[in-house]
Structure 1
Amino acid sequence: MDSSFILLEKLVLFVEKFEISEPLYCILLFEEETHFSVDLIPYHANPKDILFLSPYQLFTLEMTSPRTINILKFHGDFYCIEYHKNEVACNGILFNNIYQVPNVALTAELYEEIMAIMEKIDRLKMSPASYDQSLLKTYLQLILALASKQKMVVNDLQLSRSAYRDVIDDFEQLLEKNYIAHKEVTFYAENYSLSPAVFAKKVRLKWGKSPSKLIQERLVLESKRLLHLSSRSIKEIAAALQYKDKFYFSRFFKKMVGVSPKEFRKQVGLSIVAKKSML
């Protein structure tokens, strides 16, 4: 995969609404306080926050004044976050994390350090005759490592400050074990001896999303993983996720992602991991 699959843009936006939904991983660095949404869920970013998007996530920015955003985009075949999980544990922390906010608060020093790395990437990309692909990957990996470390520090601080405990605190673990076999909210509500309405209220209060939304997002996440990381057919993936047929699965996927499973795989491609398994 050549260096055209890592792109850096500095956008000064004057439009009222700006959207991104691409078959690429995106890293957005905000210079100003920003209100935005990811997959129609609203969030807030402070100045010097960094945001991580997985392929085909919908990012929407509503603006009342100009905004400057630095956007670094890369293809999964340029840097596969799953394949490099032992080097940088960013999958499930920065990307593909349905339970936490997608942006990370950076210190002023860390913001400047990441900005400096992005500028190095830009200079390297501006000299195609002398670019070093391995160096580009190293720069990207450094950004991911720095942000992952900061995200884990922020998570630990938030956990230590939270004195509030609820019966549904282990819902993440329960969902991880059961989301394929049990796609209905009532199963999870009954596990806590709660009515669906009370359970939904508690989940929304803690995670900012309805339980049905979290179940759907977890299924989409696994669907994307299988489409990108395995060479299984759409029919086989539908069966693995316990959908009654591939057509029902395809309709669900397209409704949630905006493209069909076939188109998603075509746009994102098979990862290095999947290609190796075919050899």
Structure 2
Amino acid sequence: MSDAIKTYNSMSELYASFGGKLEQDVDFTIHRNEELYTEVPIKSPLYRTSYYFVLILRKGRGRYIIDDQSYLIRDNIIYFTNPGHVKGFEIDETLQGYIITFSESFLKQYVHENILDEFPFLIAEVAPPSYPDREIFQIFDDLGGQLLQEYQSDSTYKYKVIGCLTVMLLLKIKERFWKAYDPLIEASTSSDITLTFKRNLEAHFRNLLAGKCDRMNQVQDYAQAQYLHPSYFSTVIKYKTGKSVNSWIAEKTIAESKAMLARSSESVQEIAFRLGFKDAAHFSRFFKKHTKLSPLSFRQSLQNL
């Protein structure tokens, strides 16, 4: 796949690429589609995102591209995508509905730490759109309205409420479209490698936090777990997800770090040791490199939300 494909780490970055501007304080957004893309037709370049998308579209025409597949956009469509895919879209008629984005770190901070156990489709690679009947679609449309209302509010518990509503949204997605999904059953060997890596990554961090191991796994450890040469393993992961193994490890480390800083009273040093860092200084440098904030500054910023 082309190196020219850009990766966006937030909805703000994606929208800015089209000349717009969005304010975003937390890794969650919801907007009305008709307010984001007011001039049609629109054809986007191909891109990747490091966050989840949920589109609830009651009206509109066009098509959505994911990897090498193309899907029609029409009335009453629910579209869910995970991070890592190559995406693109063409809008022929103004879309009406909601576009919702959130990151793994948001889910871990405002929902619960083992979110991937309850919702295994969050690591799926194949996610075609659904076209439910009007009655089922209305359930999602109503949830979108509730999420937008809360997102625009000044409530003290704003993001906690949004977290609860997001759980409702994910449960409805699971109930209607992914009830029998098994993330380890995919069509191709490459998908199996990627999904197994994501599962191993999640399991390893769980063991780290439980004190069952004292060092962070590296690329060769994840390759060895699948009996693959590290070079081949790295190539497959990069090709299928658009991110290197080290990027996945770093993002997972930051997601867990943010969750612990937000939800626990442990010191920075204790958190560093639990995540396999040799000392707090190394952890602080790593955290600041990826977030532009020190761990203490990040923790203090949460008190202002």
TM-score over 0.5 for the pair = yes
How many Å separate the matches in 2 of 1:144 and 1:155? 14
Instruction: Give 1:236's aligned amino acid.
Output: E
Distance 1:241 1:212 in 2: 15
**Residues 203 and 152 (structure 1 numbering): CA distance in 2 closer, same or farther, change over 3 Å?**
same
2:98 paired residue number? 70
Contact 2:184–2:195 under 8 Å retained in 1 = no
Match of 1:38 among 49, 69, 93: 49
Measured against aligned partners, the alpha-carbon deviations of 1:226-254 in whole angstroms (never above 9, x if no partner) come to: 11221111111111112122222122122
Whole-Å separation in 2 of the counterparts to 1:103 and 1:27: 20
Q: CA RMSD in A?
A: 5.2
Identity fraction in percent: 21
Q: Given that residues 90 and 144 in structure 1 are in contact (C-alpha distance below 8 angstroms), is that contact kept between their aligned partners in structure 2?
A: no
For residue 178 of structure 2, what is the aligned residue in structure 1?
A: 152
Is the alpha carbon distance of 1:149 and 1:13 closer, same or farther for their aligned partners in structure 2, counting shifts above 3 Å? Answer: farther
Q: Is the 8 A contact 2:120 2:181 kept in 1?
A: no
* Aligned equivalents of 1:137, 1:192: Cα separation in 2: 35
Q: Is the CA contact 2:257–2:271 (under 8 Å) kept in the aligned structure 1?
A: yes
**What is the alpha-carbon distance in structure 1 between the residues aligned to residue 280 and residue 52 of structure 2?**
28
Which of 61, 76, 82 in structure 1 is aligned with 2:112?
82
Q: What's the CA shift string for 1:170-221, capped at 9, x where partnerless?
A: 3334333435523421222334443321111122345443221221222122
Unmatched segments (≥5 aa) in structure 1? 1-11, 129-133, 272-279
Q: Is the 8 A contact 1:82 1:91 kept in 2?
A: no
Structure 1, 24-33 or 230-239: larger mean CA deviation: 24-33
* Aligned position for 2:302: 268
What letter corresponds to residue 210 of structure 1 in structure 2?
Answer: S
Higher relative CO (Cα under 8 Å, sequence separation at least 6) belongs to: 1
**Are the counterparts in 2 of residues 104 and 151 from structure 1 also a CA contact under 8 Å?**
no
Query: 1:91–1:52: structure 2 CA closer, same or farther, 3 Å change rule?
Result: farther
Contact 2:268/2:295 (8 A) holds in 1: yes
Specify the SS of the correspondent of 1:145: helix
Amino acid at match of 1:81: V
> Who is 1:232 aligned against?
266
Name the residue aligned to 1:143: 169
- Per the alignment, do residues 124 and 268 of structure 1 end up closer, same or farther by CA in structure 2, a change over 3 Å counting? closer
Which stretches in structure 2 are left out of the alignment for 5+ residues?
1-14, 38-42, 54-63, 155-159, 209-214
TM-score of the superposed pair, with normalisation by structure 1 = 0.58
Q: 2:221 aligns with which of 151, 167, 187?
A: 187
User: Distance in 1 between the 2:221 and 2:141 partners?
Assistant: 46
User: CA 1:115 to 1:250, structure 2 compared with 1: closer, same or farther past 3 Å?
Assistant: same
Query: CA separation of 1:141/1:92 partners in 2, compared to 1, >3 Å: closer, same or farther?
Result: closer
Which residue of structure 1 aligns with residue 257 of structure 2? Answer: 223
Q: State how 1:10-21 maps to structure 2 within 5 Å.
A: 15-16=18-19, 18=21, 21=24
- Which residue pairs with 2:29 in the alignment? 26
Superposition pairs of residues 109-258 of structure 1, within 5 angstroms = 109=134, 110-119=136-145, 142-150=168-176, 152-153=178-179, 155-156=181-182, 162=187, 164=189, 170-179=196-205, 180=208, 181-258=215-292
Can you list the C-alpha shifts for 1:122-153, whole angstroms capped at 9, x where unaligned? 6799999xxxxx99997665434313434634
* Shift in Å, 1:103: 8.0
Preserved contact between residue 185 and residue 211 of structure 1 (Cα < 8 Å): yes
